[in-house]
Structures are given as C-alpha cells and as structure tokens.
Amino acid sequence: NIRRVRALQVIDSRGNPTIKAYVELAGGGYGWGIAPSGASRGEREAVELRDGGRKWRGKGVSRAVAIVNTIVAPRLEGVDSRRQSYIDRLLIELDGTPNKSRIGGNTTTALSIATARAAADQAGLELFQYLGGAGARRLPIPILNVINGGVHAGNDLDFQEFMIVPHGFNSFTDAIRAAVEIYGELRGLLKERYGATAVNVGDEGGFAPPMRKAEEPLQTLVQAVEKAGYEPGREVSLGIDAAASQLYRDGRYLVEGKAISREELLNIYQRLVENYPIVYLEDPFSEDDFESFKAAVEALSARTLIVGDDLLVTNPERVKEASADGAVTGLLVKVNQVGTLTEALEAIQAARDRGVAHIVSHRSGDTEDTFIADLSVATGALMIKAGAPARSERTSKYNRLLEIEDTLGYSASYAGPELLGLIRG
Ligand code: PGA
Ligand code: ZN
C-alpha cells in the first residue's frame, strides 16, 4: 500500500518548470514520474497548472506541488498501488473539472505514472511487463522527427515535423541503427547546402534548416536515406506532422505565405503522398475539421496512416467518435493530454476496438522520464514518436527500448515488417 506521496518542482528540456511526483509503498516499492509539456497543444487538452507571476517566468508549478503534498497525499496514502484505475478516478474526482484545471493535468500525469512505476517495482517486474503482461513482446516502429519546423523551430517550414520511419528491418535495434546513419548523412547534406547554421537543432532534436516548401525537406530526406544505403519506401519511409491547427485562421490554412482552402491543402498532401514514400500523416487539418480528416482518409489512406493528435487529444470519447466516423486510421497517445494513465489506456482500447492503430508520443518539452517507451511495448503500439536520435530527453526513450529488446532476447519481435500490409490492407 502507498505509504508516502510527494512532489517536487524540476525542469524540462526547454528549461521550463515541471512537476515530478514520488510514490513510496509500505512494502518498499518506489516509483516516480515527471510530466512533459507541449508547445503546439490541442484546444481540448488537460490544463497545466502553473503559478503565474514573475518567478520562473510565470511557469512555476509550486501550487501543483503543494496540492500533491497537502491535498492528494492524504487521500492516496494507504491505497493499494495496483489499483491504478481507482487511484486515477480519485484524482479525477479530486479535481472535479472536465479539463483537470483545478489540480492540473500535469499534477495528475506525474502522479499516475509514479503510481504505475511503484506498483511495478513492488511486483518485481519491468514496467512494460507489469502494464502489458507476458504477451508484451513487440517493439514499436520509431518515427524520428529529424527536420523541425512550425512552432518547434526558427525557420519558415509551415509543417511542424518531417520524420523518418525505418520499418523494413527485423529488429528495433536495426531500425535505430538506420536512423542514426541517416541522421548523420542528413547533417552532411544540410551543411553542404545551407552552411553550418542549418544543422542547429530544434526542440525535438531535428535539424532546423532555412527551408520553406514541404518538398525541400522530403527531397533531402530521400537523398539522406539513399546515401546511407537504404531503399526509400521499402526499408525507410517518411512521415509528416503538419500540426495544422497552428496554420488555421478563419476557415483557411496559411501555407507558404498564402491562405488556402481545405481542398487546396488536401491537394498538396495528395501531391506529396504521390511523389514521396509517405506512410504517416498527422494532423493534416485543424482540430475541429472532422470533415477534412474524413476526406483525407478517403483520399490517402491506401498509402498513409492519417493520425489524429490535436484532433483526438487522447480522449476516449473523441477517439470513439472519430474512429466510428472514419476520420482517422491512427491515434497519437500523449498521457498528459488527458491527464491519467487509465484514460489513456481507455483511448487506446477505443481505437483498437475500431481497428485504429496507436502511436505513443513524447512532447516537445520532455524529460529524462522514459515511461512512454514501456507504455508503447505494454500496449502493443505500432509506433513510438520520440524525436530525433539526439538530445537525451529523446534518446532516453530509444535507449530504453533498446534495453527492452535486449531483455526480451529471442522472444522480442518488431512491428516494422507489418506496416505496409496494415496500410495497404
Ligand atoms: P507538442 O507537439 O508536444 O509541442 O504539443 C508535438 C506534436 O504536435 O505532435
Ligand atoms: Zn502533432
């Protein structure tokens, strides 16, 4: 049973304060969890509780820490840490708002993760095995954001993320090796073409070259894949997160300096998907534009996953609605978008019940917490999105997965070879 709960203010990869929670069990089990933080947040996400004022530039979380130490701790002490859904419901009740604005989605996220870790520790199990059982043996496909744009970088790329998807391999380890080799070739290509400043990196460890049109990063990525000796489309494909809510103004989308219609934007995607080996397209339209997501699924889903991030905000009800409507073929899972592990697992189940794949994701402001690596294996995620193979808050997730694959040995499998069959039906 839980003996002690406390919280502490720490900092994330952007240098902003965030909350770390600790859960100590009477039997000696121990767990911790740190909330990550997004920059291109969905409108319907759980709210982060921050102090305001001048200290920590208004972003302090001392109120959240105080809530844990004085209000939450007495309620959780004595409770069996294995009762994750009971504990998460207790947090939801204590908060009492639809968007967790009273005690904060950052507070509940850190506590929810800390509870799961403590229970796994007590059980003497690896976290992915505690959460996923003995059947949790498949490693997800890493999708690595190697060219950053949008609000994550100081360049003119409208779309936020350009990813490499190393799927045509027999193990996660081989996929990461390919990604690292491609990342190195990409660095060389960019330096040669745009000079040394082009290889400065953005928030997620990808390069932020002075590019403008979406074709430029895609073309360069295909070249980097080839230079590294891999076959584009067969071994390594590409992905885009347009993060289109950020481009949306009054019914139109601001792309390459023009305000275009949703039909024109869909035409752009169509052209890109025809000309480049794209298998992953996230948030192609704004978070309220269900109809355009449906049009994207109809037009493009034979070639690429259509993934909802801001559209779904890891909310089970939104996932049910969008999946039943044919608005997505993929769900992006960010625990802190909804605020508890239990609700995130419900969202995953809702997607799975309706034949929608799920992708476990980091945030652009992240930390040394590797929880999402274990979560991806535990839930049999098709993919994990954790940034470039650079910057420790990104590599820690990939490193944890390398470790899990090693731990599993011959019983491990890799999701990569299933990808093309899944998309092409
Ligand atoms: P965020 O963005 O973590 O900055 O919200 C990541 C994403 O849009 O996938
Ligand atoms: Zn996104």
Does position 328 have pLDDT exceeding 90, yes or no? yes
* Cα–Cα distance, 8 to 32 (Å, whole number): 11
Return left, alpha or beta for 57; rule: phi > 0 is left, psi -120 to 50 is alpha, else beta.
Answer: left
The structure tokens listed for 408 are 């599993």
In this predicted model, what pLDDT tens digit does every residue of 333-382 receive, in sequence order? 999 999 999 999 999 999 999 999 999 999 999 999 999 999 999 999 99
* Cα–Cα distance, 275 to 179 (Å, whole number): 22
Mean pLDDT of 109-121: 98
pTM: 0.98
* Cα–Cα distance, 67 to 48 (Å, whole number): 13
The residues with which 34 forms a beta bridge, in sequence order, are: 20
Does position 418 have pLDDT exceeding 90, yes or no? yes
In this predicted model, what pLDDT tens digit does every residue of 29-86 receive, in sequence order? 999 999 999 999 999 999 999 999 999 999 999 999 999 999 999 999 999 999 999 9
Does position 223 have pLDDT exceeding 90, yes or no? yes
Burial class (CB in 10 A: 0-12, 13-18, 19+), 114: buried
Ligand in closest contact with the CA of 38: 1
Q: What is the 3-state secondary structure (H, E, C) of 312-380?
A: CCCCHHHHHHHHHCCCCCEEEECHHHHCCHHHHHHHHHHHHHCCCEEEEECCCECCCCCHHHHHHHHCC
The neighbour count for residue 98, using CB atoms within 10 Å, is 10
- 258 pLDDT band, cuts 50/70/90, is very high
* Cα–Cα distance, 136 to 317 (Å, whole number): 26
Mean pLDDT of 318-323: 97
Does position 124 have pLDDT exceeding 90, yes or no? yes
In this predicted model, what pLDDT tens digit does every residue of 194-216 receive, in sequence order? 999 999 999 999 999 999 999 99
At 113 the pLDDT is 98
Mutate to test the pocket of ligand 1, among 305, 309, 391 (most ligand atoms within 8 A of CB): 309
Ligand 1: which atom is nearest the Cα of residue 243? 8
* Residues having C-beta closer than 5 Å to ion ligand 2: 241, 243, 309
At 131 the pLDDT is 98
Ligand in closest contact with the CA of 363: 1
Does position 151 have pLDDT exceeding 90, yes or no? no
* Residues 72 and 107: beta-carbon distance below 8 Å: yes
Q: What is the CA radius of gyration of the chain?
A: 21
| Ligand 2 geometric centre to CA of 25 (Å) | 36
Half-sphere exposure of 195 (CA within 13 A, CB side): 3
Does position 87 have pLDDT exceeding 90, yes or no? yes
Q: What is the DSSP letter of 163?
A: E
The structure tokens listed for 66 are 């105080």
Mutate to test the pocket of ligand 1, among 16, 145, 160 (most ligand atoms within 8 A of CB): 160
ipTM of the predicted assembly exceeds 0.95: yes
Looking at the chain, how many residues does it have?
425
Ligand in closest contact with the CA of 283: 2
Dihedral, 40, 163, 300, 138 alpha carbons, nearest 10: -100
Half-sphere exposure of 288 (CA within 13 A, CB side): 9
At 270 the pLDDT is 98
Ligand 1: which atom is nearest the Cα of residue 361? 9
For ligand 1, atom 2, which residue shows the shortest CA distance?
40
At 7 the pLDDT is 98
Mean confidence (pLDDT) of the chain = 97
Ligand in closest contact with the CA of 43: 1
At 425 the pLDDT is 82
Residues annotated catalytic, as ranges: 204, 334
At 154 the pLDDT is 86
Does position 3 have pLDDT exceeding 90, yes or no? yes
Give the dihedral sign, CA 256/261/263/266: positive
* Residues 300 and 311: beta-carbon distance below 8 Å: no
Mutate to test the pocket of ligand 1, among 12, 16, 37, 40 (most ligand atoms within 8 A of CB): 40
- Kindly report which listed range (146-160, 285-299, 315-329, 386-400) carries the lowest average pLDDT score: 146-160
At 240 the pLDDT is 98
Does position 414 have pLDDT exceeding 90, yes or no? yes
Ligand 1: which atom is nearest the Cα of residue 39? 4
| Ligand 1 geometric centre to CA of 54 (Å) | 26
Ligand 1: which atom is nearest the Cα of residue 283? 8
Q: 279: closest CA among 223, 214, 329, 353?
A: 329
For ligand 1, atom 1, which residue shows the shortest CA distance?
38
123-162 burial, b if ≥16 CB within 10 A, otherwise e? eeebbbbbbbeeebbbbbbbbbbbbbbbebbebebbbbbb
* Cα–Cα distance, 36 to 61 (Å, whole number): 13
| Ligand 2 geometric centre to CA of 1 (Å) | 37
Does position 153 have pLDDT exceeding 90, yes or no? no
* Cα–Cα distance, 246 to 42 (Å, whole number): 10
The pocket around ligand 1, CB under 6 angstroms, is made up of 38-41, 160, 241, 243, 309, 361, 363-364
